[in-house]
Amino acid sequence: MIRLFSALALLAALTGPAFANPTVSTTGIRLTNTASTAQGRDSSIAYNPDLDLYLLVYEVTGTETSVNAQLLDHTLAAVGGPRVLGGTPTNGFSQPTVAYNPVSHEFVVAMVDELTYSIRGIRLRGDGALTATSVVISSNTAGQFDVSPRIAVDTTDGDVLFVWQADNSVVNQDTRGRLMTKLLAPVAAQATFYDATSVNGGIPDVAFSSVRGEFLVATTNTASPTRNVLGQRVSASTGAAIGSNITIAQRNPADRARVAYNATSDEYLVTYSAYVSGSLYEV
């Protein structure tokens, strides 16, 4: 049998798929619209492919800081009005982050409750409607802070791993986390993924490997003379650490590790902020 190829098809067959550089589809536009308050100081966004909608979550600074949620269509036009998440405690909410759960077809938001400095989670339907009130994810000792939450979703069964930076008994910063079901019921008690008994940990991040069925938590520490970029594998079934911390890189200093997972090549990409000299940093 003789098969005929066009020139483009033959080129693709010989060289593999072609990838175009991303293009800027629109100029920057304003997504929040109240100039009298400091909106958008901290924000996060996730995409719902089922309904072709984004969910933007962001801080609003007024008498107290609160977290708002706003649906956007693919043109970035607002769908409905902003929604305040989680009520209004005395000291507000802050530091929101959001992910889309393709199993439950819902958004999951994590944020800091500034009354207790614990981490709270809340579910929203794919169309942005609240499914329930927020739930407490972390538990801390009075006077100690849980901050800087990040989340990743197990795309197999919909469980969600929350990770955050946490004061320990000597007020160094651990990296802790807790695995929750897609309904935000606890799978297990919170776990420590980096123990900062003598050396502070940094702000963490987390990603899920659909091939391996586990999470990777990335963080940094302040070990002298260099800062380590660390990884910790976490079981997707129990929420427990698998083995010990892995040293990914050493840089003096390194901070703000971020991680993403590539299922095609079954690998993680970990980036971090690295000191160069003077006031200069690089990624």
Residue 218 pLDDT more than 90?
yes
Q: What average pLDDT does range 238-258 have in this prediction? A: 87
Query: Residue 159: which of 235, 273, 79, 260 has the closest Cα?
Result: 235
Q: Residue 106's pLDDT is what? A: 95
Please tell me the least confidently modeled range out of 8-12, 61-65, 252-256, 269-273. 8-12
Q: Residue 14's pLDDT is what? A: 47
Peptide bond before residue 253 is cis, with ω within 30 degrees of 0: yes
Assign 40 a pLDDT band (cuts: 50, 70, 90): low
Residue 237: CB atoms within 10 Å: 14
Assign 142 a pLDDT band (cuts: 50, 70, 90): low
Q: Which residue has the tokens 């299922």?
A: 263
Residue 139 pLDDT more than 50?
yes
Q: What average pLDDT does range 210-216 have in this prediction? A: 95
- Return the higher-pLDDT residue of 129 and 72: 72
Q: What average pLDDT does range 135-139 have in this prediction? A: 89
Q: Residue 6 contacts by C-beta under 8 Å, 6 or more apart in sequence? A: none
Residue 137 pLDDT more than 90?
yes
State how far the alpha carbon of 99 is from the alpha carbons of 30, 61, 108, 203, 210, in Å.
22, 23, 5, 18, 16
Highest mean pLDDT among 92-96, 161-165, 274-278: 161-165
Q: What average pLDDT does range 90-103 have in this prediction? A: 89
- Return the higher-pLDDT residue of 73 and 15: 73
Residue 223 pLDDT more than 90?
no
Residue 5 pLDDT more than 50?
no
The pair of three-digit structure tokens given for residue 240, joined into one six-digit string: 């427990």
Q: Residue 141's pLDDT is what? A: 67
User: Could you say which DSSP state residue 221 is in?
Assistant: B
